[in-house]
Amino acid sequence: MNTLSEHTKNILGLQLPTDPRWVSLAGLSLEAILTDHAYCEQKAALTCISLIQRYSDKVELVTQLAPIVTEEWGHFRLVLHELHRRGLKLGVQRRDEYVNRLIAFQQKGGSEEGRLLDHLLTMAMIEARSCERFKRLSEGLEDEYLRNFYRRFMESEAGHYALFIDLAELYNPKELVRKRWREWLEHEVLIMREIELRGDRIH
Ligand SMILES: [Fe+2]
Ligand SMILES: [Fe+2]
């Protein structure tokens, strides 16, 4: 059953907790999970850069996301260091089915505001699910060092989730953000049910 506290559940809004078997699978394939995690951090940094490029006229967005680029790249370096410290290698980047499916749900046409909203909510969604997965790792991995390692990531990504929601509310009416976020949460459940549970993937 769901072991996330009500508090965490409320923060993230996720409708479907991760299958408890996932953390055991992840613990069995550390090189793969760390590699996948490293690329997730790299993609987070890259996406923040592309949002800054695309929405360069939005002062608050640019100001808020500039330091996140540095932070996500710092996360990438931490994970890379962890791989090397363990004598493991950064493997190849895989196709990210979870993120591809989220992108497929984004509004394609319509207003500029609507597309920006979906870009920000996509980021909030990835941060929320990553945070939930890191929480699982911080509680369920056997290696105590890694449990602490993942606790720090969990806290950081929770902050990013809140930041993307705040930005969404800055550029859109709150009620609209809430309505669209509920649609994202419902859609994410379908994605989570459809994609295979794999220990070598963060999501
Ligand atoms: Fe990160
Ligand atoms: Fe993040």
Smallest CA-to-CA distance from 120 within 37, 202, 58 is with 58
The protein residues having their C-beta less than 5 angstroms from ligand 1 (an ion) are 41, 72, 75
What does the pLDDT read at residue 2? 43
- Please report, as a single letter, which amino acid is at residue 138: S
Per-10-residue mean pLDDT of the chain, 203 residues long, equals 49 86 93 97 98 98 98 98 97 95 95 96 97 96 96 96 96 96 96 94 94
What is the 18 CA–ligand 1 centroid distance (Å)?
Answer: 19
| Ligand that comes closest to the CA of residue 152 | 1
What does the pLDDT read at residue 13? 87
Beta strands in the chain (DSSP E): none
Written as six digits, the tokens of 18 are: 């991760």
C-alpha distances in Å from residue 158, one per residue of 9, 29, 45, 133:
12, 25, 16, 11
What does the pLDDT read at residue 34? 97
What does the pLDDT read at residue 12? 77
What is the 45 CA–ligand 2 centroid distance (Å)?
Answer: 8
| Global pTM value | 0.93
Beta-carbon-side half-sphere exposure of residue 152 (alpha carbons within 13 Å): 11
What does the pLDDT read at residue 10? 56
